[in-house]
Structure 1
Amino acid sequence: MARNDSEPAKRGRGRPPSAEVRRRILETAAAVLRENGVSEVTFDKVARRAEVSRMTLYKWFRSPASLALAAFEDTYADSLRPESSGDLWTDLRTHLREFVANLSEPGIGTMVAGLLGSAQHDPALATEISDTYTRPRREGATELLRAAQERGQLPPSVDVEALVDQLWGACYARLLLPEGTLNEAFADALVTNLRALTSPH
């Protein structure tokens, strides 16, 4: 969910503190990102709307795409790690539903798709996305699944890394490809199918 800071920060005399400036930059970039997409997050546009210099942006962000990613992570991204209740099927259903709900929010999926698309021809951005967005979430998912293996809820033969690709990757596939609908029913179906395939027959 997007954050809504309705009360503007109060400024005293002189130069505003760097934390306040960075906050204003990220909020401005997030607004541009949601309104116009990744390609429209430019240093010129954000600097003008945030009332800061372009040099300030260059000081903190490697590129406009890097700024767009930081703004997305700060404002729109879902939580990093799934919590564990001790029951794998409840945990998977809960987290996949939350993941799908986040990607299905108006504008969020488009932003994620735009960032992933930009990363295809920007290796540095791809590394940043991995470091700040995909890998931390992947690590949380693998921890959840490995703990379930230790409890005997998943067979030891299951390749946990591949299973993360099958579950969360299927959601990204629904996001990026025109076939199928990305919704709660799809998240539930992924869990139901996995449980059926891994249950003793």
Structure 2
Amino acid sequence: METERPKVGRKRSEAARKAILRASLELLRERGYGKVTVDAIAERAGVGKQTMYRWWRSKADVVLEALTEEARVAIVDRDSNDLESDLGAFLKATFRLLNPPRALGPVMSGLMAEAQLDPAFGARFGDYIAWRRKSLGAIFQRAAERNELSADADIELLVDMVFGAMWYRLLLDRPISPKFATSLARTATRAARAQKS
């Protein structure tokens, strides 16, 4: 999944891009989403503000790209041949990204709010969400192929259940712990297997 970017200006310097994404994550952890500005990111990264606006449309787009890069590294899908184990590993990796020290849970909430206010950004954030849904859906799909659940199981509904529980806790600032990951994986596995006739 790639976030959409403006197609204007010079080719991006990879070193500058990494400095900007690193600076944005540092500032987000220090100040929170609402208090971070493009000016502050540019200053921390040692680049001009105009450089950032050549490459991204808004602060939200910079943050979304930083979040995407973090997720690519932090959330690695694994196939252990067991639905509950795979779900637990996926959720624990996801929750580690949201909790300290990475502490990107409040950032996700900020991006969700931004997506409600800016339809153009909302579409790009929707692409990120669709990418994460596809990754989770693949875990259920593999289970269906192993006959752990019925071949016609409602995978979209199962994904809604898992991510719905995560987002509910995230938006209400309730704990998203490893214990919750284990419990949610167990509950989702039972629900998935209950669909098997």
Q: Which consecutive residues of structure 1, in runs of 5 or more, have no partner in the other structure?
A: 1-16
Does 2:93 match 1:112?
A: no
Q: Secondary structure at the match of 2:117?
A: coil
Q: CA deviation at 1:81?
A: 5.2
Q: 1:157 to 1:71 in 2, by over 3 A?
A: closer
Aligned residue in 2 for 1:185: 179
Q: 1:31 to 1:77 in 2, by over 3 A?
A: farther
Letter of the structure 2 residue corresponding to residue 63 of structure 1:
S
Q: Which consecutive residues of structure 2, in runs of 5 or more, have no partner in the other structure?
A: 1-11
Aligned residue in 2 for 1:143: 138
1:88 and 1:153 in contact (8 A); partners too = yes
Q: CA deviation at 1:73?
A: 2.8
1:93 and 1:188 in contact (8 A); partners too = yes
Q: Which has the larger radius of gyration?
A: 1
Letter of the structure 2 residue corresponding to residue 182 of structure 1:
I
Aligned residue in 2 for 1:52: 47
Q: What TM-score comes out, normalization by structure 1 length?
A: 0.79
2:158 and 2:188 in contact (8 A); partners too = no
CA deviation string 1:80-109 (max 9, x = no partner): 552212221211122122222322224321
Aligned residue in 2 for 1:39: 34
1:27 and 1:75 in contact (8 A); partners too = no
Q: 1:52 to 1:119 in 2, by over 3 A?
A: same
The separation in 2 between residues aligned to 1:24 and 1:161, in whole angstroms, is 37
Aligned residue in 2 for 1:124: 120
Moved over 4 A (4+): 75-78
Picking from 51, 64, 71, the partner of 2:66 is 71
Aligned residue in 2 for 1:90: 85
Q: 1:99 to 1:25 in 2, by over 3 A?
A: closer
Q: Secondary structure at the match of 2:57?
A: coil
Q: What TM-score comes out, normalization by structure 2 length?
A: 0.80
Letter of the structure 2 residue corresponding to residue 100 of structure 1:
F
Q: Secondary structure at the match of 2:112?
A: helix
Q: Secondary structure at the match of 1:105?
A: coil
Number of aligned positions between the proteins: 183
Letter of the structure 2 residue corresponding to residue 165 of structure 1:
D
Deviates more, 1:21-30 or 1:70-79: 70-79
Report sequence identity in percent. 33
Q: CA deviation at 1:55?
A: 1.5
The separation in 1 between residues aligned to 2:177 and 2:25, in whole angstroms, is 24
Aligned residue in 2 for 1:28: 23
The separation in 1 between residues aligned to 2:130 and 2:76, in whole angstroms, is 11
The separation in 2 between residues aligned to 1:47 and 1:31, in whole angstroms, is 12
